[in-house]
Structure 1
Amino acid sequence: MTTRRAWRMPSAGSLDRLTRVTEELPPPGPGEARVRVEAIGLNFADVFACLGLYSATPRGAFIPGLECAGVVEALGPPRAGDDSAGTAIVAPGDRVMVLTRFGGYATALNVDRRYLVLLPAAWTLAEGAAYLVQALTAWYGLVHLGTLARGQVALVHSAAGGVGLRAVAMARAIGATVIGTVGHADKIALLETQGLPRAQVIVRGASGFGVQLDAALAAIGASHFDVVLDALAGPFFLPGLVRLAPEGRHVLYGAADFMPSGARPSWVRLAWQYLRRPRLDPMKLIDKNRSFMGFNLIWLFERADRLPVSASAALALSPEPAHIGARFGFDEVPRALRTLQSGRTTGKVIVEV
């Protein structure tokens, strides 16, 4: 048995319930590896899960966290009937990026070896913890579902966030033109360093957002978007959808507009937002020859057979390490989550063990 520290939620509903515990970790089971965690990547899904607003949140007690990076310490026995096809080939001492359907907020964990990706040699473990969820989300939304192609125009919401920065990089690597949106003007400079001219960055306003989109499109000599990668929903959903070109694709993967600002949800406010949520008329999609798609990356975790190809495709398209906007120590996890929740961060928020 190995002793580890972890941040555990006795039940979802409030960030204040997150509790640091010391507990025993059993040896890795069949097909698993034990990883000593050195860095943890935080995601908006972690906040939603702790608040009880995430559809995939486990019932009862759970450890949050969808990704981390660390060093392989031990391997369990082979899984019965496993012919090693699709199983990550790792050995003790290897540095790896880890995907896990919850459980990442710990100093060690046992994980199915199929969810391990070897860390590029030049990367730090913090950079590894900042990569997989963002890169796979951007790749799946833009490439697999959005089929973004050279010469097309993409609208990327929350462009200065972890997924947004990765999506901007991937779209530019494809040869597409990007218009990015941010919630605060102090994020503009970061996007300019990523190659986005000021005219292609929008500081979102709930009123007049359509006018802002039209101005940005006019600045690049375009009239429509081919792909919208949307992490927001709310009042920013329909203005992007109605500006899709024929055969355009609107891909929704988040609803950050519903993010509560406090330690627990305001159910009255959420109910009001839900009642006012955008309504989609499928007949109009037919009339305009547009497509709407939604996805949640965590449900793809059940398709471990697709992970190696997807991760390789993402790394090939965007091989640069992630921009880390904030770093916290392991004892600062609650503060790190509240910082992420604020919406004022850029890039990835990392917890280092």
Structure 2
Amino acid sequence: MKRMVYKMQRTGSLNRLLLSNEELSVPQPNEVTVEVKAIGLNFADFFCIHGLYKAAPKYDLIPGLEFSGIVIDKGIGVNEFAPGDKVIGVSRFGAFATHINLNKNYLMKLPDDWTFEEGASFVVQALTAYYALKELGNIQQNQIVLIHSVAGGVGIYANRIAKKFDCITIGTVGSEAKIEKMKNENVDYILVRDSNFIRSLKEILNNRKIDLLLESLTGKYFKETFNLLAPQGRAIIYGASNFATHTAFPNYLELAFKYFTRPKVDILKLIEQNRSVMGFNLIWLYDKEIYLKSLLDELIKLDLSKPCIGEIFKFDEMYKAIMKFQSGKTIGKVVVKVQ
């Protein structure tokens, strides 16, 4: 069958992301063919587009990590899904398309009361937050959790998950405008990352220490917040939005400056201070099908609220959607509606 895809013969610039027609093969054993209805955007997408994501191919790349849609065909060995089923999928790239073939282990049923847009906004951000807090952070009841970029998709779910453990949550945002829009998210404290940020944070802590630090900026605030970690405190690095650019192609001079001035950790002091720094990316999880499936099952049991959607764009507005997302001025998820 024919499908439309956004594809790059060579990464490096958004201008190389072109919409084209191509043939999609029939599903192989254990695969499902999905008619894509919505696509969720993530930081990894435009890092891939700019050629800055090591796990992504540099040539013939179809970006996209998550989507929702309707099953229209299935291969031998698929008993869990049938044509007509509404599903959510997580892919190792390839979701910027109208149709996709995917192994059944990377699909889950779309909840009955969720829209396709909500389904395409869930897996990557919720799984990132859950893996960071539970698997790496070993989150415990009543801890203090600092969440950078709490108004983003991952940040919102990190707060919701931390609240399931009755934790005190402190979120940071880039501007005052985002605070009002977060008023219903039950964040205990929200701070703007400005010149008063660290002083305000210390006032909130009142001589207490941070147990878990969710770091997605990797910029100038890392060292000062890391120094506020408690003994056995953990800093979980899951992103590097500080390296994101707001143009169609990377500013390599600016990126080089940020790279060489990035925060560094003295491993000997980690021993002395009894702290940890851990990092991860979801592509690593993608190669562990059974483990990934078990985490998704645990996520569903948490009964988290629906995703927060910031803006929805049409499929032919993909460039506009990506530029809006990387502007850093969005709340929640940016979604592309396919059909």
TM-score range, shorter chain: over 0.9
The aligned amino acid for 1:63 is I
The whole-number CA distance in structure 1 between the counterparts of 2:32 and 2:178 is: 39
1:307 aligns with 2:296: no
1:265 aligns with 2:250: yes
Aligned to 1:214: 202
Deviation at 1:55, TM superposition (A): 1.4
Task: Give TM-score, length-normalised by structure 2.
Answer: 0.97
Deviation at 1:317, TM superposition (A): 2.1
The aligned amino acid for 1:8 is K
Q: 1:162, 1:348 within 8 Å by CA — same for their partners in 2?
A: yes
- Secondary structure of the residue aligned to 2:23 is strand
Aligned to 2:27: 28
Aligned to 1:244: 229
The aligned amino acid for 2:203 is A
The whole-number CA distance in structure 1 between the counterparts of 2:65 and 2:133 is: 21
Aligned to 1:185: 176
Where do residues 130-141 of structure 1 align in structure 2 (5 Å cutoff)?
130-141=121-132
The aligned amino acid for 1:133 is V
The whole-number CA distance in structure 2 between the counterparts of 1:166 and 1:337 is: 21
- The counterpart of 1:225, out of the listed 177, 202, 210, is 210
Deviation at 1:208, TM superposition (A): 4.9
Deviation at 1:88, TM superposition (A): 7.6
Aligned to 2:143: 152
The whole-number CA distance in structure 1 between the counterparts of 2:171 and 2:95 is: 30
The whole-number CA distance in structure 1 between the counterparts of 2:159 and 2:152 is: 10
Where do residues 332-351 of structure 1 align in structure 2 (5 Å cutoff)?
332-351=317-336
Aligned to 1:108: 99
Deviation at 1:318, TM superposition (A): 4.4
Q: 2:143, 2:168 within 8 Å by CA — same for their partners in 1?
A: yes
Distance 1:88 1:152, change over 3 A: farther
The whole-number CA distance in structure 1 between the counterparts of 2:86 and 2:219 is: 40
Deviation at 1:238, TM superposition (A): 1.1
CA RMSD in angstroms comes to 1.3
Q: 1:155, 1:229 within 8 Å by CA — same for their partners in 2?
A: yes
Deviation at 1:41, TM superposition (A): 0.4
Q: Deviations over 1:12-64 (max 9, x none)?
A: 10011110111111101121100000000000110111011111121311110
Q: 2:160, 2:304 within 8 Å by CA — same for their partners in 1?
A: no
- Secondary structure of the residue aligned to 1:130 is coil
Deviation at 1:181, TM superposition (A): 0.4
The aligned amino acid for 1:13 is G
Deviation at 1:240, TM superposition (A): 1.7
1:92 aligns with 2:86: no
Aligned to 1:7: 6
Deviation at 1:190, TM superposition (A): 2.3
Distance 1:288 1:53, change over 3 A: same
- The counterpart of 2:191, out of the listed 197, 202, 217, is 202
Over the matched positions of the two proteins, sequence identity in percent amounts to 43
1:117 aligns with 2:108: yes
Aligned to 1:172: 163
The whole-number CA distance in structure 2 between the counterparts of 1:285 and 1:242 is: 11
* Bigger shift: residues 337-346 or 9-18: 9-18
* Bigger shift: residues 107-116 or 231-240: 231-240
Corresponding residue pairs, total: 338
Q: 1:202, 1:216 within 8 Å by CA — same for their partners in 2?
A: no
The whole-number CA distance in structure 2 between the counterparts of 1:160 and 1:210 is: 19
- Secondary structure of the residue aligned to 1:319 is coil
Q: Deviations over 1:158-203 (max 9, x none)?
A: 1000000000111111110100001111110122211124xx1111
The aligned amino acid for 1:50 is I
